[in-house]
Amino acid sequence: MTAVIIFIADGTEEMEFTITYDTLVRAGATVVSVFVPDTTSTSHPVSPPVAKGSRGINIMPDMYLDRSQLTVDKFDSLVVPGGAKGADTISKNSTVQDLVREFYKNGKLVGMICNGSLAALTSRLPKQPLTSHPAVKSRLETEFEYSEDPVVVSGNLITSRGPGTTFPFALTLVESLFGREKRVEVQGPMVFPTGTPWVNAQ
C-alpha cells in the first residue's frame, strides 16, 4: 500500500491541500494529513486540532505532527502544500525540515507546491530545478535553478506553482508513485475540458 504524508497548518491553501489529497486517494494511496502547529502562537491548542485554511475553511487533520510515527519505512512520499501563512509555519518547523531531508535522501517522493517550496530552502536540499508561487521566487532563485513551468520534476522532488497548477501537480505525483497508466485512469473520470494541456502531459 502506497502511503503519503500531506502536511497542513493554519493558513494552508485549501485547494492545494484538498485537490492533492483527493487525487492521491483516487489513485489508491493511503493519505495521512499531519497538523503542524504554529510554535509562535500564544493560543491554546485544541484536541483534536482544526486547521483554518487560507480562505477560512476548517479542515480536520488526521493526526498531530509526531516524529516517531512519520518514518521512511511507513511512508512513500510527503507533500508540503502552500498558502502563505501555512507554508511559513510548515517550512520553519524543524521536525518537518528533518523529515524532508530524510525522505529526499532516501529517494522517497517529495512534493511541494506554491509557497510550500520554501521547505526546500529551509531543509537545505541540494541546488536543482524547482518552481514556486511568484511571491517567493526571489527567496529561491539564487539557491535553486528556478523555473516558471507549471510543474517541475527533479529526480524525486516535484514542485509546482499555485492553486491553478494543483491538478497537474497532483497527477504528476500519481504518475511518479503509480505509473503513467494509473494517471490516465485517475484523470479520465475527472472530465477535464477537451484541450486541457496537462491531460496529455508526457
Q: Which single residue is written with the C-alpha cell 501555512?
A: 86
Domain of 59, CATH number, reads: 3.40.50.880
Average pLDDT, the chain: 93
pLDDT at 55 over 90: no
Q: Would you say residue 73 lies in a domain?
A: yes
Residue 51 has pLDDT above 90, yes or no: no
Residue range 108-155, pLDDT digits in tens: 999 999 999 999 999 999 999 999 999 999 999 999 999 999 999 999
Q: Which has more confidence, 189 or 43?
A: 189
Catalytic residue among 13, 14, 44, 133: 133
pLDDT band for 45, please (50, 70, 90 cuts). Answer: low
Angle, vertex CA 199, rays to CA 80 and CA 136, nearest 5: 30
pLDDT at residue number 113: 98
pLDDT of 47 strictly over 60:
no
Range of the structural domain that residue 99 is part of: 3-190
Is residue 133 flagged as an active site residue? yes
Tell me whether residue 172 is in a domain: yes
Catalytic residue among 13, 114, 141, 185: 114
> How many independent structural domains does the chain possess?
1
From the candidates 16, 141, 175, 185, give the one annotated as an active-site residue.
16
Please check whether residue 11 lies inside any domain of the structure. Answer: yes
71-83 pLDDT, tens digit per residue, is: 999 999 999 999 9
- What is residue 42's predicted lDDT score, i.e. its pLDDT? 56
Spatial CA neighbour of 63 closest among 23, 95, 31, 40:
31
pTM over 0.75? The answer is yes
For 10, counting Cβ atoms within 10 Å of its Cβ (0-12 exposed, 13-18 middle, 19+ buried), the class is buried
* 201 belongs to a structural domain: no
Q: Is the pLDDT of residue 39 over 90?
A: no
CB of 86 closer than 8 Å to CB of 10: yes
In-domain check, residue 200: no
- Say if residues 16 and 42 touch (Cβ distance below 8 Å): no
Judge whether 44 counts as a catalytic residue: no
Residue 127 lies in a domain: yes
* Cα–Cα distance measured from residue 12 to residue 7, given in angstroms and rounded to the nearest whole number: 9
Residue 48, pLDDT above cutoff 70: no
pLDDT over 90, % of the chain: 84
For 157-202, give the DSSP string.
Answer: EEEE-SGGGHHHHHHHHHHHHH-HHHHHHHHGGG-PPTT-GGGG--
Task: Tell whether 167 is covered by a domain.
Answer: yes
At residue 171, the 3 state secondary structure works out as: helix
Question: Residue 101 class from Cβ within 10 Å (0-12 exposed, 13-18 middle, 19+ buried)?
Answer: middle
**Domain-embedded: residue 196:** no
Q: How far is CA 187 from CA 49, 181, 193, 201, in A?
A: 32, 10, 11, 11
Question: How far apart are alpha carbons 154 and 172 in whole angstroms?
Answer: 12
State residue 122's pLDDT score.
98
